[in-house]
Amino acid sequence: MKGQKNLTLAAYDAIKEMMLNYDIVPGQRLVFVDLAKKLGVSRTPVNNALNMLAKEGYLDFVPHQGYTVHKLTREEAEALYELREIIEIGTIGKAIRQMTPEKLIHFEKQKLQFEEGISNQVHRQLFVLDAEFHASIIGMLDNPYIVERYREICRLIFLRFRTEDLKVSRMQEVAKEHESLFEAVRLRDVERSKDILKFHNTNARENLFAIIFKDEQALQNIKSHYMEPSRAMPH
């Protein structure tokens, strides 16, 4: 029984790693036999792992059709970004009060790792590095439960959308926003840190949504064009 549980957890971690590495992508249908063969285990632990991932919201299950990787909806993204900001804004003051030289060094290290991770293409690891940069501030509270909850919120965002159309230039802007936030935290300026976090999250949301929900937005624009009364050109 214990061995079966270990195999299930190993399969769970491996499938999640495949999502992170973009070996499987949002919208893709998953085949039991192929996954079991690739992971070198029987179908049972793979089935258990897929069931766990579906319960967590990473996969969709349709009876008689199987599992597909869940595609992030706009409503989910809005809710997750709101929760992410609530955690960050709500903890920044206490985090700064509890900041030590060692915690600041770790925070700076995470900032530099994100900057070094920027290349000529946007990849999933950048989103992990971004989450760790922010988590290192929350980590100043010495409350691992809040940190892990924050990380899980971030994973529920970045593991469920496709990265092909994301722009490197936005990642460079993110690095500059990180630098501003780092300086505000280093100077123990709580109010400026909150303002930067709000600006940073708004930018992240607007830039991301414009790309991953572009088809949805285009459809909405078409509907609005035909439903709204015509307006005269302003003089």
Tens digits of per-residue pLDDT, 42-52?
Answer: 999 999 999 99
Q: What tokens appear for 108 in the block?
A: 């700076």
pTM of this prediction?
0.85
* Confidence at residue 163, expressed as pLDDT on a 0 to 100 scale: 81
Per-residue pLDDT, 165: 81
pLDDT at 219 over 50: no
CATH architecture under which domain 2-69 falls: Orthogonal Bundle (1.10)
Rounded mean pLDDT of 162-184?
93
pLDDT in tens, 127-161: 999 999 999 999 999 999 999 999 999 999 999 99
| Residue 112 in this model has a pLDDT that exceeds 80 | yes
Task: Express as a percent the part of the chain with pLDDT over 90.
Answer: 77
pLDDT for residue 107: 98
Q: Is the pLDDT of residue 199 over 80?
A: yes
| pLDDT tens-digit readout, 32-83 | 889 999 999 999 999 999 999 999 999 999 998 899 999 999 999 999 999 9
Spell out the residues 6+ positions from residue 177 whose beta carbon is closer than 8 angstroms to its own: 196, 199, 200, 203
Q: How far is CA 114 from CA 39, 40, 138, 175, 203, in A?
A: 30, 34, 17, 7, 17
3-state secondary structure of 122: coil
| CATH class label, 74-213 | mainly alpha
Question: For all residues of the chain together, what is the average pLDDT?
Answer: 89
Segments of the chain assigned to CATH 1.10.10.10? 2-69
